[in-house]
Amino acid sequence: MAEAQPRVGGGTSALSCGELSVGYGEHVVIKTLSIGFLPGQWTSIVGPNGCGKSTLLRALAGLEPARSGTIYLQDRALASWPRRARARRIAWLAQTSAISDLTAAEVVGLGRFAHSGWLAHRQAADEAAMYRAMMATGSFAWAHRRMSTLSGGERQRVHLARTLAVEASVMLLDEPTTHLDPPHQEDIVRLLREQARGCGVSVVSAIHDLSLALAADRIVVLGYRGLVGHGTIAEALAGDWLSAAFETPVNVIEHRGAYLWRPSLEAPSAAGAPAQPGIER
């Protein structure tokens, strides 16, 4: 597993946005959103399909231009960072990655691009970072296999290793647990938590599985009409933000300190919501 490397100090946000609006064409997806992501904390972004989770992550990574508002990386406007310096500080994992013919090790090596540059002259530090990342994601065994010969879950772990190998102070992950079987989902969630708590990384992830998303330190709940709430998991559950965001009752059970989403199998009654949405103990 990766050694603990303190990266970002201080109490100010590693990454934050103020009055951020992002949209495509006439459609404004994110409206005047202001959030900060602290170093050493893992934040989950939760919300229904199409509410702008991916768009927010893309905007925070600098891949989607902001309509208005500013994004700050370590108290400096994101746009004013040099490209390579920014890429060393923010690692981004796409929801779906194209299948390439490179080997897994070559893909992970690309995570060191911002460090090693065009000539790909890898230093010992680059190799060590790649090794740590591949061991942490359990993808070392197929380091020399082509990506096109790997299964979806194996590929996802290689891409995760690529984002880890950047050794960035901010990790933006769009659906990091897709294509993974439950034990590996568990590994990834543990890994994210450790990156945040052990290495001081500011981890921001959008995860569909609510039980996994609720394992984070903080949560950003987005609804169709914008931000529902931003705070700790306990605050979110106490305020029943999830039901508000999904516009349907969402049942969450607390079990031995973990929050679990309990799917409701009865058809929702026409008269109104079933009794007692929100948290059960």
Partner 1 sequence: MSATPTLPLDLGIGPRAARARRRLLVWVLCCLAITLLLAFGSLIVGTSSIETSLGWLLRPDAEASVVLWQIRLPRTLGAWLAGALLGLAGGIAQGVFRNPLAEPYLLGTASGAALGVTITLIAADASFEGLVWAARLGVTGAACLGAAGATLLTVSLSRGVLQTRSLLLSGVVVAFLLGSITQLLLLSRPEIWRTMQSFLFGSTGFLSWSSAELLGGALCVSIVPALLLARGLDALTLGEDTAQSLGLSLPLLRLALLGIVSIASATAVGQVGVVGFVGLIAPHIVRETLSVNHRQLLIGAPLCGGALLQAADLLSRWVIRPSELPVGAVTACLGGSYLIFLLWRRNRRG
Interface positions with partner 1 (CB under 8 A): 1, 58, 61-63, 83-84, 86-88, 90-92, 94, 97-98, 100-103, 105-107, 109-111, 113-114, 118-120, 122, 127-128, 130-132, 134-135, 143-144, 146, 159, 166
State which residue, 124 or 270, has the beta carbon closest to partner 1: 124
User: CB of 54: closest distance to partner 1 in angstroms?
Assistant: 10
Rounded to 5 degrees, what are φ and ψ at 43?
Answer: -115, 130
Q: HSE (CB half, 13 Å, CA atoms) of 55?
A: 22
State which residue, 127 or 217, has the beta carbon closest to partner 1: 127
CA angle (65, 242, 238) in 5-degree steps: 125
State which residue, 106 or 209, has the beta carbon closest to partner 1: 106
User: CB of 39: closest distance to partner 1 in angstroms?
Assistant: 20
User: CB of 128: closest distance to partner 1 in angstroms?
Assistant: 6
State which residue, 67 or 146, has the beta carbon closest to partner 1: 146
Q: Name the strands in the sheet holding 76-77, side by side, starting at the edge strand that comes first in the sequence.
A: 27-37, 15-24, 68-73, 76-77
State which residue, 128 or 244, has the beta carbon closest to partner 1: 128
User: CB of 105: closest distance to partner 1 in angstroms?
Assistant: 5
CB 158 within 8 Å of CB 137? yes
State which residue, 45 or 165, has the beta carbon closest to partner 1: 165
- Residue indicated by tokens 């199998």: 265
User: CB of 208: closest distance to partner 1 in angstroms?
Assistant: 20
The strand ranges marked E within the chain are 15-24, 27-37, 42-46, 68-73, 76-77, 90-93, 170-174, 202-206, 218-223, 226-232, 251-255, 258-262, 278-280
User: CB of 185: closest distance to partner 1 in angstroms?
Assistant: 20
- Residue indicated by tokens 């590996």: 184
